[in-house]
Amino acid sequence: MEFAPPDQREVFWRHYNEGRRRSALKATTLDQIAAAWLGRESGLINDGLAQAGRLWRQVVPGEFAGRCQVESLSGRVLCMLVDSKSTAFVLRRSVERMFLDLACGAPAHLQIERVQYRVGKQA
Domain count, the chain: 1
**Residue 91 sits in which domain range?**
29-119
The residue ranges of DSSP E strands in 1-123, in sequence order, are 68-74, 77-82, 114-119
Please check whether residue 65 lies inside any domain of the structure. yes
Stretch 98-105: mean pLDDT, rounded? 86
Please check whether residue 16 lies inside any domain of the structure. no
pLDDT tier at 75 (50, 70, 90 boundaries)?
confident
Please check whether residue 24 lies inside any domain of the structure. no
Please check whether residue 1 lies inside any domain of the structure. no
Higher pLDDT, 117 or 3: 117
pLDDT at residue 83, rounded to an integer: 92
Please check whether residue 105 lies inside any domain of the structure. yes
pTM of the model: 0.60
CATH of the domain at 112: 3.30.300.130
Instruction: Look at residues 66, 59, 93, 97 and name the one whose alpha carbon lies nearest to residue 81.
Output: 66
Please check whether residue 13 lies inside any domain of the structure. no
